Structure 1
Amino acid sequence: MTNPWHSVSTGSQSPHIVNAIIEIPKGCRAKYELDKESGLLKLDRVLYSSVYYPANYGFIPQTYCDDHDPLDILILSQVDVVPMCIMEAKVIGVMQMVDGGEADDKIIAVAANDMSVNYINDISELPPHFIAEMRHFFEEYKKLENKTVKVEEFQDKKKAEQIIIESIEGYRKMFGKK
């Protein structure tokens, strides 16, 4: 079995439009994550709080970050996308947060093939309430585990694309791929 982290490309239009591997569908309370060794999804936990993922959640393949994981991505779409689906995502911004004392950026994107959202070009075009919902979810979802997450700021597409480029370079340094 191939591991999607290593076998799927970041996409031919990266960092503007990237491939993403969905781990968790929008509206889910289960925290699935890629098992880095096998390439399968594993159930990390059921969320302790009565909150649900506000968008499809996954990672950008062939990226590597300081937390030793691929770069996380949230993809807005009108549909819940099944886990392990490869999805084209149009990058619009980044949510910068600190999880347990470590930086843990989340790229924000829209589904490139969903006409209901793919007209959005920058995070500044999102409704303020949706930004508040994302902030609330990530600051609350670990509280009953006695863990702290702090959303520091939301930044634009340019900053998000810079983070993607850096994480691709981090992957190349770590795994020796071109």
Structure 2
Amino acid sequence: GDDDDPLDVLILMQEPVDNLSILRVRPIGMMAMLDQGQNDEKIISVHLDDPEYRSFAHIQELPLHRLSELRRFFEDYKKLEHKQVLVQDFFGPEQARETIEAGIDRYNKEFAPSQVS
């Protein structure tokens, strides 16, 4: 996004995990937001080893109340930080992959060591 922060990835799963855990996930979509007027995308993914979520391949397969919960979580979370946020819309896995690839490209340009020939 425009906010210069690392890409945010939400993982839908039943069990809690420790911070910095490495998990097998599938991106099923993306939630587009404006945070303080800047684009701030949230990749929505499912844990591939979770029996409840592993079968989902597209964000449209989720129950509507789950999407409402995600939207409401970020609206409330940002209010607690006294920030203005607008959750715009949900997009499918192709848009999520494009956003992930753009994040990888941005990382490689800013942080990856230069290749010396």
Give your verdict on TM over 0.5. Answer: yes
Cα displacement (A) at 1:144: 4.0
Match of 1:166 in 2: 102
Residue 129 of structure 1 aligns with an amino acid whose one-letter code is H
In 1: Cα distance, 2:103 partner to 2:80 partner: 31
In 1: Cα distance, 2:80 partner to 2:4 partner: 25
Give 4+ residue runs of structure 1 displaced > 4 Å after superposition: none
In 2: Cα distance, 1:173 partner to 1:93 partner: 25
Structure showing the higher strand proportion among its residues: 1
Equivalences for residues 1-178 of structure 1 within 5 A: 65-177=1-113
RMSD: 1.5
In 2: Cα distance, 1:98 partner to 1:123 partner: 20
User: Which structure's relative contact order is higher, taking Cα pairs within 8 Å and 6+ residues apart?
Assistant: 2
Paired residue total: 114
List alignment gaps of at least 5 residues for structure 2: none
Structure showing the higher helix proportion among its residues: 2
Cα displacement (A) at 1:176: 3.1
The TM-score with structure 1 as length reference comes to: 0.60
Identical counterparts, % of pairs: 43
The TM-score with structure 2 as length reference comes to: 0.89
In 1: Cα distance, 2:81 partner to 2:46 partner: 30
